[in-house]
Amino acid sequence: MEQGKYGKMKLEPEKGEIPLREGILKFPSSPEDEPHLIASRCKSCGDIAFPPKVFCGKCEGEETEEFLLSNRAKVYTYTIVHQMGIPGIEVPYALVIVKFPEDEELLIAGQITGCNPEEVKIGMEVETVIDKVRSGILGFLTGESRDVIGYKFRPVGKK
Ligand SMILES: [Zn+2]
């Protein structure tokens, strides 16, 4: 893998950064590794859910297991957000809904990074990256400004 493919790739949250949500991101274990979203798979019917679920929403099975989605997905649809809605996210940005090869019915929304919003196309191949999703959120208790990290999708082949 070429040097710097993941740009600001993170191996773990840095000091002062807070994860968007616990238990949904698998950080790369080495610079050659890729980040993955952590989903759940039902042990009875095989249904995959993200964010992971303890119980299956499809068959009501009570046993699920951790399931790593592949790093690559395809843009199913997208929207360009022009209005400031969430503090700490700059507009305009593209919000994409992607499909992973593991489950045709599973749709996951996320911000795109590494290209301009108008470059986003339906069917575009993207990879999962870990990046800052919101900046400058004031800590509730400390009053410190912190960044929130989470997942984004980046066009394959873009730096
Ligand atoms: Zn099930």
Phi, psi of 35 (to 5 degrees): -75, 155
- 121 with 138, same domain: the answer is yes
Q: Is the same domain home to 107 and 157?
A: yes
Domain boundary among 7, 39, 69: 69
Alpha carbon distance 49, 121 (integer Å): 25
Angle (CA) 41-49-132 rounded to 5° is 120
For residue 69, report the distance from its CA to the centre of ligand 1, in Å.
Answer: 17
pLDDT tens-digit map of 29-54: 888 889 999 999 999 999 999 999 99
Check whether 86 has a pLDDT greater than 80: no
When mean pLDDT is compared over 85-89, 101-105, 132-136, the highest value belongs to: 101-105
Position 6 scores a pLDDT of: 40
62 CA to middle of ligand 1, Å? Answer: 8
Q: Which residue, 152, 151, 137, is CA-closest to 17? A: 137
- Does position 136 have pLDDT exceeding 80, yes or no? no
Distance separating the N- and C-terminal Cα atoms of the chain: 13
- Assess whether 86 and 138 both reside in one domain: yes
Q: Widest CA span of the chain, in angstroms? A: 46
Domain stops at, among 46, 69, 92 = 69
Q: Which residues pair with 129 in a beta bridge?
A: 152
| 17 within some domain | no
24 alpha carbon – ligand 1 mean position (Å): 20
Average pLDDT, the chain: 85
Tell me if residue 117 falls in helix, strand or coil: helix
CA of 103 to the centre of ligand 1 (A): 13
Domain range enclosing 51: 22-69
Same domain, 111 and 141: yes
CA of 150 to the centre of ligand 1 (A): 27
- What distance in angstroms lies between residue 64's CA and the mean position of ligand 1's atoms? 8
Residues 83 and 116 in one domain: yes
Position 94 in a domain:
yes
pLDDT in tens, 57-72: 899 999 999 999 999 9
**Pairwise CA distance, residues 13 & 4, whole Å:** 18
Is 154 part of a structural domain of the chain?
yes
pTM over 0.85: no
Per-residue pLDDT band at 13 (split at 50, 70, 90): low
> How far does the centroid of ligand 1 lie from the alpha carbon of residue 39, in Å?
13
- The whole-number average pLDDT for the span 69-94 is 89
- Regarding whether 131 and 64 lie in a shared domain, the answer is no
Whether 33 and 88 map to the same domain: the answer is no
Q: Which residues pair with 95 in a beta bridge?
A: 79, 111
48 assigned to some structural domain: yes
Quick check: is 119 in a domain?
Answer: yes
Distance 50 CA to ligand 1 centre (A): 13
Identify whether residues 78 and 150 lie together within a single domain. yes
pLDDT band at 78 (very low <50, low <70, confident <90, very high): very high
How do 103-112 and 145-155 pair as beta strands? parallel
Distance 66 CA to ligand 1 centre (A): 13
pLDDT given for residue 5 in this prediction? 36
The predicted structure's pLDDT at residue 1: 31
* Pair (46, 111) in one structural domain: no
Q: Please check whether residue 1 lies inside any domain of the structure.
A: no
